[in-house]
Amino acid sequence: MRFKERNKKILTLLIFFLTIFSDSCAEASSRKHISKSNIIPAEVSFYEQVLPTLAGKSVVLVTNPSGIGRYPEKILKEFKDKKVKIKHLIGLEHGFLGLEEDFSKSPVTVDETFQLPIYHIYKVKNAEIPAILKGADAVVFDVADMGMRCYTYLSVLKRLMDNLPEPNIRFIVLDHPNPAMYLGARGEGIQKKFLNFAGEFPSLFFTGMTIGEAAAFYNGEYLSNKVKLDIVSPENLKRGFDWEREGIPWSTPSPNLPMLDSARNYLGLVLLEGVNVSVGRGTQAPFVYFGAPWMNEPDQIIPELNEDSKGDYYYQSVYFKPTFGPFKEQICRGLRLTIVNKKYDPLKMSYNLMTILKKHYKDFKWRQYPDGTHNIDFLWGTERMRESIDAGKTYEEFKAGYSESESSTNKMIQKYLLY
């Protein structure tokens, strides 16, 4: 009897350790180390092959920590060694270090690292941009984007390409993968009356392109290829890649997207910035938490939301208190979004989420500007999303209104896709 009991204990321990070992192997195999990745970032080719071609030239530099701006000391050393002069910098929405929450109040400041002027394009009139770029032999543009029209780096790209003062200025774009590539071009185009800095690039809501492909698309379709464009591509990148299994590191493009999980959530939750909730800005989990002081008993809507997700994501209730942004220093009840399927449909998720919030909470409101226009319309590009939710239309009915545009756009951009 004792022999059988001892064998049973040994078998139980063996099963336990095999389970732990199996789980650890599965966990280890789900993420490849960066040193073993076959995908070589564009910056490697830029420093080794492109930068030497700029010897004796003057460049305007546009970057932040999602690109070569992550290592400013290397920029200073390599540019100096190759005898390339940095004329000045172009400032993106979150500053050179990618740490600023608010726009600069001045059109030009002095960067402490480079001791050079940094021109903040969103504060500069388009008519003034040619003078800023005048005298440069090249513009080096290296930032990662989200593959979305509402992400302002595309607006900066467009404004610079529109306003090059001379046709012989090289426009060098270091390309990056983005979390929305699997979606293709999705959503609607933007109507003229809703053009804004977070919605200026002529694409659908999801561009379906990398930032390099978007530059080629804009040059070909809108500028008659007048820009002398050079795209430096990551080696071995293919559509359908998996960030973790390919060992691609996440480099924070803006302060509220510190992790890849935040970026994946952002694809859908960014549209909640058009309603009166916090999307977690000013918390430890931006674009993971969302909610408001008025969002009582969020657990009551979780079953409906989780059923709607079809297993692609799930929600849990949470408390949080933002340090800035909507409901600053107020305790919010809300939900935490966890993505399970990395290739989920963010448009369906956001549309149905707002529909359910509106149905259950009388305090739900569309965020409005002082002139009475709606924030969501500027984000989405038309009034259709807001009006469809207000009219009680299903997501399928809403989507049917722009499906032909999606199909034609995806065909049009095919010739510009590099991966």
Residue range 12-28, pLDDT digits in tens: 444 444 444 444 444 44
Output the pLDDT for position 29: 55
101 pLDDT more than 90? no
Say what the pLDDT of residue 192 is. Answer: 97
pLDDT in tens, 149-192: 999 999 999 999 999 999 999 999 999 999 999 999 999 999 99
Residue at token pair 């939900």: 335
Q: Is the pLDDT of residue 9 over 80?
A: no
What integer pLDDT is reported at residue 5 of this predicted model? Answer: 53
Place of tokens 């990618």: 98
pLDDT digits (tens, 9 = 90+) for 259-294: 999 999 999 999 999 999 999 999 999 999 999 999
Q: Would you state the pLDDT for residue 23?
A: 46
Q: What are phi and psi of 105, to 5 degrees?
A: -85, -10
Picking from 291, 279, 363, the residue whose alpha carbon sits closest to that of residue 334 is 291
**Predicted local distance difference test score (pLDDT) of residue 105:** 81
Q: 75-95 as b/e, with b when 16 or more CB fall inside 10 Å?
A: beebbeebebebbbbbbbbbb
Q: Please state at what angle helix 403-413 crosses helix 211-222, rounded to 10 degrees.
A: 90
Q: What confidence score (pLDDT) does residue 104 get?
A: 77
- Mean pLDDT, residues 287-312 taken together: 97
List of domains in the chain: 36-243 (3.40.50.12170), 259-381 (3.90.1150.140)
pLDDT tens figures, 191-230: 999 999 999 999 999 999 999 999 999 999 999 999 999 9
Short-list 201, 264, 265, 209, CA closest to 233: 209
> Cα–Cα distance between 244 and 254 in angstroms, integer?
20
Mean pLDDT of the 305-322 span: 97
Here the tokens at position 224 are 């008659």
Phi, psi of 8 (to 5 degrees): -65, -40
